[in-house]
Amino acid sequence: MNTLFLIYLILCILLAITAHFGYCRFYGKNTSRSPQNSLLAIILLGNMPLLFGTVMIGAIKNVPVLELVFVFIYALIVYNCVLYAYFHLFNMSETARRIRILLQLRESGGLTKQELRDIYSPQNMVEARLNRLQKMGVICRDQQGGYQTNNRVWVMIARLFQFIR
């Protein structure tokens, strides 16, 4: 059970990463959905094949039910922790200014220092972050044109990080 199960677990992790890569590469630029939300959806949906595969492998190998429950809990922890780390690695590469600058330099064939300053002015940085938060559904615009929090979960996470500091 152990080797077959570990191979299946690794394949589930690789499938989730590949699905996210494919989504971002071929579909993500043509949608208003944030790539971070898409990755979270892929991670959560990936728990279902993990459960199915664990049950199937357990049935094939005649594994006792209690052992199967512990194997599935182990799989959930490993799968979600690895993809949690991938989420933060992806998020860091999406939001880090130096990564974005390198990509823009490559895509444009070169920019002057002033052009980079224009792109990365404080106004543009705030605008980019507001747009990203809107795409993620964390904030929304009110009728007066101001911004309001829209997602209690993200606000609780922000408060948790504020408390940790």
Reported as a single tens digit per residue, the pLDDT across 2-25 is: 888 899 999 999 999 999 888 888
Do 26 and 70 share a structural domain?
yes
The verdict on 56 and 113 lying in the same domain is no
pLDDT band for 158, please (50, 70, 90 cuts).
confident
- For residues 56 and 124, state if they share a domain: no
Identify the domain containing residue 132 by its residue range: 100-164
Please answer whether residues 12 and 49 qualify as being in contact, where contact means their C-beta atoms are separated by less than 8 angstroms. Answer: yes
pTM flag (> 0.85): no
Q: Assess whether 16 and 35 both reside in one domain.
A: yes
Q: Domain check: are 90 and 33 in the same one?
A: yes
* Last residue in a domain, options 41, 61, 95: 95
Task: Mark whether 10 and 74 lie in a shared domain.
Answer: yes
Cβ distance 27 to 39 under 8 Å?
Answer: no
Max Cα-Cα span within the chain: 67
Q: Which of 71, 95, 119 is the last residue of a domain?
A: 95
Distance between CA atoms of residues 76 and 73, nearest Å: 5
Give the pairing type, strands 139-141 and 147-149. antiparallel
**One domain for residues 105 and 76:** no
Domain count, the chain: 2
Predicted confidence at residue 38, as pLDDT, reads 85
Tell me: do 51 and 116 sit in the same domain: no
| pLDDT tens digits, 65-119 | 999 899 899 999 999 999 999 988 887 776 677 777 787 888 888 888 888 888 7
Residue (of 17, 27, 19, 37) closest to 132 by Cα position: 37
